[in-house]
């Protein structure tokens, strides 16, 4: 196959058109996480997010400052856990699986965000998934009400 001027122009044009999509495909959703600097499960959850294609920034916070941030962001007290993330205008409370965060971002509901209250064993960052206890991920609405977003059976 001979490279003619016409083929060169066609290749150049198609590369020019496809280039913005190649950059877009490489972008990772960025989540900002506020966490206690001494919390190992928070760090484990962050590692899981990074392995699943998220870019993560962190901010040290603990005690009443972290609790105040959660409540001020609209997370009901009965939905709290150890760390709080924010991604594209949504709050992510606790050990929410990466697949649920992606589903939230794809569906874009009118809500505050997602929460896994407490620290259920086997949720991301909380021990072996093979020994997981059943838990639910909740969607938090702007009025403070919640509904089950997804359910994970015990292993």
Query: pLDDT per residue over 62-73, tens digit each?
Result: 889 999 999 999
Strand-pair partners of 151 = 136
Q: Which band of pLDDT confidence, cut at 50, 70 and 90, is reported for residue 37? A: confident
Residue 2, pLDDT score:
57
Residue 98, pLDDT score:
98
Q: Which band of pLDDT confidence, cut at 50, 70 and 90, is reported for residue 15? A: very low
Residue 83, pLDDT score:
95
| Distance (Å, whole) CA 35 – CA 77 | 17
Residue 63, pLDDT score:
87
Query: Does pLDDT of 75 surpass 80?
Result: yes
What percentage of the chain exceeds 90 in pLDDT? 77
Strand-pair partners of 155 = none
Residue 38, pLDDT score:
86
| Distance (Å, whole) CA 109 – CA 117 | 20
Structure tokens at 68: 């105040």
Q: How many CB atoms lie within 10 A of CB 29?
A: 15
Query: Does pLDDT of 123 surpass 80?
Result: yes
Which residue in this structure is represented by tokens 């359910």?
A: 151
Query: Does pLDDT of 96 surpass 50?
Result: yes
Q: How far apart are the first and last CA of the chain?
A: 58
Q: Which band of pLDDT confidence, cut at 50, 70 and 90, is reported for residue 12? A: very low
Domains (ranges, CATH) in the chain?
Answer: 28-152 (3.40.30)
């Amino acid at each position: 196959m001979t490279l003619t001027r016409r083929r060169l122009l066609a290749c150049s044009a198609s590369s020019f058109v496809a280039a913005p999509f190649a950059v877009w495909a490489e972008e990772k959703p960025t989540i900002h996480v506020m966490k206690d600097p001494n919390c190992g499960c928070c760090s484990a959850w962050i590692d899981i997010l990074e392995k699943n294609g998220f870019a993560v920034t962190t901010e040290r916070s603990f005690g009443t400052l972290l609790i105040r941030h959660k409540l001020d962001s609209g997370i009901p007290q009965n939905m709290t856990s150890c760390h709080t993330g924010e991604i594209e205008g949504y709050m992510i409370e606790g050990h929410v699986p990466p697949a649920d965060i992606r589903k939230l971002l794809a569906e874009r509901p009118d809500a505050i965000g997602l929460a896994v209250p407490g620290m259920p064993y086997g949720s991301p960052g909380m021990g072996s998934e093979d020994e997981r206890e059943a838990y639910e991920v909740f969607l938090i609405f702007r009025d403070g009400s919640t509904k089950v977003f997804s359910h994970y059976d015990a292993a």
